[in-house]
Amino acid sequence: MFGSWGMIQPRMVDPRLALPGREQPILPDGAPHDIFDTNVLDTPEGSEVAYLALGCFWGAEKLYWNTPGVTNTAVGYMGGFTQNPTYEETCSGRTGHTEVVRVTYDPAQVSYDELLRIFFENHDPTQGMRQGNDIGTQYRSAIFTTSPEQKDAAAAALQRYGQAFDEAGYGAVTTEVVDEPTPFYAAERYHQQYLDKNPAGYCPIHATGVTCG
């Protein structure tokens, strides 16, 4: 999961130069979830869906599968131009995608606001196209909303945390809030629940200690 200033330029690819991708999904039938008794692409009954990008998706997924009220998780790619990208293509910087966790949650047990609190408090949303030593467009901070209510909640959280990070001496929050429909492309099977399969795997959480209420 390492990036490099030399290998990956921290800027978005020109859509005209993006890799073309493919029609066939990388994970067409999903995969069994290693923690929940689900397929990783299932939305359990009564659940809603959130899409959150906070750097390396291995550690981010673990944060959410350990959150009470979360009913399923999957990792994948969103926000770029390439159809059904691979991990290697995404890491090349030529797809425009960022690493995302698809979180399904029971709103009777955990609120979307709580998912956003976990999001903002467990990475540095002021770093632009990076998280720590992980550098590239695939590590940028983003929230992909799925309803007007999520859009409003994300905008409110962005304002609150923007003020909190400013007061703590950080730069401006660079988190993107994307409210137009955007495809989620599931990542390869070995990335799903990676830190359950590889408990000693590299994927630090870049929490800053900044909180907001």
pLDDT in tens, 136-159: 999 999 999 999 999 999 999 999
Rounded to a whole number of angstroms, the CA Rg of the chain reads 16
Query: What is the value of pTM for the model shown?
Result: 0.94
Residue identified by tokens 């609120």 is 111
Residues 123, 54: contact at Cβ < 8 Å? Answer: yes
Catalytic residue of the set 56, 91, 203, 212: 56
Q: pLDDT tens, 153-207? A: 999 999 999 999 999 999 999 999 999 999 999 999 999 999 999 998 888 788 9
Q: How confident is the model at residue 10, as a pLDDT?
A: 75
- Cβ neighbors of 148 (< 8 A, separation 6 or more) are none
Percentage of the residues of the chain whose pLDDT score is greater than 90: 90
| Active site annotation includes 203 | no
Residues 98, 13: contact at Cβ < 8 Å? Answer: no
Residue 28 CA: distances (Å) to CA of 41, 137, 175, 185: 10, 25, 30, 10
Tokens of 121: 């408090």
